[in-house]
Structure 1
């Protein structure tokens, strides 16, 4: 009996059939792997919200300030998103329109529940952690949100085989920060530093993005100064009158774009990026400019700023606000926020920034006037064109 053997990609054997010899191919072609390709992960479409770019991303903290911008930008390039939420679904459902039908999926989760985290990241190749807390509550302390939570997410991502993890941190995070307004080191800064270390221990190839003060719609930077809780009538207390603090704020859309660019670029693994604005400003100059934009200037409205150490009433006001509303301080008025406000942004040389991620940075002079327009004094006054001169922007400080 003659036999025929095929080499290479195909194997064959001879099987008698009604006295005739038939050739049956056993295996189809196997090239580089025995694993079946995941056809659902292939790119489809021509780009945009009605396409799929091959990325399935889980965004923790999707309903937060930065999260909404990140989800919109991910959906704009055709990313399938899995959005874990712990709030009422009516607060999360607005994110459904970020992507095409079926591209935005929701799942409830708790940062202390490992099973819900594993369910959220099981099918994702990119996980973005934006969960953060400006103030502590009786249920969640800084350590719970900034250290234990990121560690748990990073460990589960590693165990579930997630390819990329991007973690949003704080620019001035430090192991032992110097207290400025507080009597002891800031636990916000310490927990942010410990969170970075925890993520790196559990997921060594994670990408860390350290952001300075982020401004934009519904932020806690511009709107803190615009709030009536932060100011005494026309008098604003600042740490050392704002003359000892230099800020480099960054626009929220730029931070979101940097996160999206990092998710699409595999070369950003193991990297740390600084999310900072293009210019540095003295806090006193910034605050004066903010109030001038709100038509609350020194001459007509009576605005004054002063050193808060000479004000015995301000500490009582902060204590009262936190006593009345411990779960959500009115006007973001609490000591950790004031400590963060008084902190000078320290930029490390040699560490890449958002510009290295291909982000074209937004200048405050172009964006802030629009952000503060709803907070103008005499809002219902119909002013004539040119009646209110445009305030001069603050002078940038040298790097």
Structure 2
């Protein structure tokens, strides 16, 4: 049970210091009562306000991958209902500028981290009741392969979130994630790693929520910009697998 402190002040203090306040004619009475029982209080029970931007929704969410296309829309939606956001980022701080306005003053916190730094991950999830993993890469680099980012990274986040007592872990995969994706040359390593990430997350956080969206389009996306980039506009060419006759795209907005 939380401590209850009652303060009753009588007298005229003005701008005098604390030592001077004790000398003036007045009375300060402090009553402090505390129970030895520790009753955990869920954040969802601390909702305040009417549900708008300046309210508190009861959600304290850590959003990994918030600087991506989907991430900024997720953060904006959470901020509109009065959620507190903790945004870990791996990029330069300047790329987080647009996210500073998604929530009310003091409700959006930023923290630099590394995907292999478990201590930093623990810091950003220890006070949250929701953790959302949107981290993904469209291509491999010399430092991070698809397996490093999608499988090992997701598994690490799920494990640490479970250890920290997080109530909900939300992981975003892909609609076509399969163990053996349809082969175009050798099959998609991206989709295969997304499938493996689902298994890894389930292993560490069995009750995790896994979303499997298809390609997404909208303002500033990578789907439409892929077809409208300057190189294709100048060359007037767009390579399509088997003339596009066997390709089906059903993007979501």
User: Shorter-chain TM-score: what band?
Assistant: 0.7 to 0.9
2:205 maps to: 203
Give me the whole-angstrom Cα distance separating, in 1, the residues matched to 2:212 and 2:251: 12
1:231 and 1:237 in contact (8 A); partners too: no
3-state DSSP of counterpart to 1:246:
coil
Give me the whole-angstrom Cα distance separating, in 1, the residues matched to 2:94 and 2:45: 30
From 64, 81, 85, the equivalent of 2:85 is 81
Deviation at residue 95 of structure 1 after TM alignment: 1.0
Give me the whole-angstrom Cα distance separating, in 1, the residues matched to 2:132 and 2:68: 13
1:99 maps to: 103
1:112 maps to: 116
Give me the whole-angstrom Cα distance separating, in 1, the residues matched to 2:144 and 2:157: 16
Q: Deviations over 1:42-101 (max 9, x none)?
A: 111112111101110000001111101111110000000000011121211321111111
1:132 maps to: 136
Give me the whole-angstrom Cα distance separating, in 1, the residues matched to 2:44 and 2:110: 19
Deviation at residue 230 of structure 1 after TM alignment: 4.1
Alignment of 1:1-399 (within 5 A): 34-35=38-39, 37=41, 42-180=46-184, 182=185, 184-230=186-232, 233-251=235-253
3-state DSSP of counterpart to 1:215:
coil
Normalising by structure 1, report the TM-score. 0.53
1:132 and 1:145 in contact (8 A); partners too: yes
Deviation at residue 229 of structure 1 after TM alignment: 2.8
Give me the whole-angstrom Cα distance separating, in 2, the residues matched to 1:91 and 1:28: 46
2:172 and 2:211 in contact (8 A); partners too: yes
Normalising by structure 2, report the TM-score. 0.82
Give me the whole-angstrom Cα distance separating, in 1, the residues matched to 2:120 and 2:157: 10
2:44 and 2:59 in contact (8 A); partners too: no
Give me the whole-angstrom Cα distance separating, in 2, the residues matched to 1:226 and 1:41: 48
Which structure is larger by alpha-carbon Rg, 1 or 2? Answer: 1
> Where does structure 2 lack aligned partners over 5 or more consecutive residues?
1-32
Over 3 Å counting, the alpha-carbon distance change for 1:151 and 1:36 in structure 2 is closer
Cα RMSD (Å):
2.1
3-state DSSP of counterpart to 1:134:
coil
Moved over 4 A (4+): 27-30, 38-41
